[in-house]
Amino acid sequence: MKWLQEKINEVFQESVSRLDEGGEVVEEIRQKFMAFDWDWPAADPRPLPAWDYRADVLTNAPAGLLSELAHEVDGHWETVDWYRNPNYIHDESLGRFRTWYGYNLYVGSFGMIKKRDIAVGMLLISPDCLYPAHNHLAAEIYVPISGRAEWWTEESDWQIQEPGTPIYHRPWLKHGTRTLDEPLLALFGWLGDTSKHATISR
């Protein structure tokens, strides 16, 4: 587990220097994250449909740090709980997305390590899914680990982002994600009240 923590730390470190906005937020997440002792009893998660794409995630991750992290995530895949946002599960307007995604929480208000002021985990979205405009109280960093996808905010149009590109969202900034023909695995970090789930913007 320590190796997984260190690989996530490396990705956060690289992201700080590449961000025009939010670098100080990511650095605070990183420092809090590295202060934790990573040791928890293995979970027994319920498999999600999106797990069908685990092999594709490993195949598509770029060589080097991102591939190393993807393999570390996969090695611990079934030792952590995976979730879907309770605000989304019964929302039929979300179509394929509400079923074909999931996320884990290594750290967070209901994560493997219980902390309310930060969250760190992995988001998995299957191909051909739209995660529509949503927002939340916490500031957020995403770093795609595997999979090219389109990202949007209320301040910018849809743009394809490559794996390794840090994407920062200020608190309450509306944003969305659209996967293409491959699954997306993205590292995320929240700073703020992590007990408040994201809500779809209507």
Q: Give pLDDT tens digits for 39-82.
A: 888 899 999 999 999 999 999 999 999 999 999 999 999 999 99
Q: Quote the pTM value.
A: 0.96
Please tell me the predicted confidence (pLDDT) of residue 89: 86
Whether the pLDDT of residue 1 is over 90: the answer is: no
Please tell me the predicted confidence (pLDDT) of residue 87: 87
**For residue range 87-108, what is the model confidence (pLDDT) as tens digits?**
888 888 899 999 999 999 999 9
Residues 6+ apart with CB under 8 A from 27: 12, 16
* pLDDT level of residue 197 (50, 70, 90 thresholds): confident
Burial, 147: exposed, middle or buried (Cβ in 10 Å; 0-12, 13-18, 19+)?
Answer: buried
Q: Residue 184 and residue 145: Cα distance in Å, rounded?
A: 8
Please tell me the predicted confidence (pLDDT) of residue 30: 95
The answer as to CATH 2.102.10.10 being correct for domain 2-200 is no
Q: Residue 43 and residue 4: Cα distance in Å, rounded?
A: 16
| Contact call for residues 48 and 88 (beta carbons, < 8 A) | no
Each domain of the chain, given as residue ranges in start order, spans 2-200
* pLDDT level of residue 38 (50, 70, 90 thresholds): confident
Angle between helices 23-34 and 2-18 (to 10 degrees): 160
**For residue range 131-183, what is the model confidence (pLDDT) as tens digits?**
999 999 999 999 999 999 999 999 999 999 999 999 999 999 999 999 999 99
> How many other C-beta atoms lie within 10 A of the C-beta of residue 194?
24
- Within the chain, where are the H helices? 2-18, 23-34, 54-60, 65-75
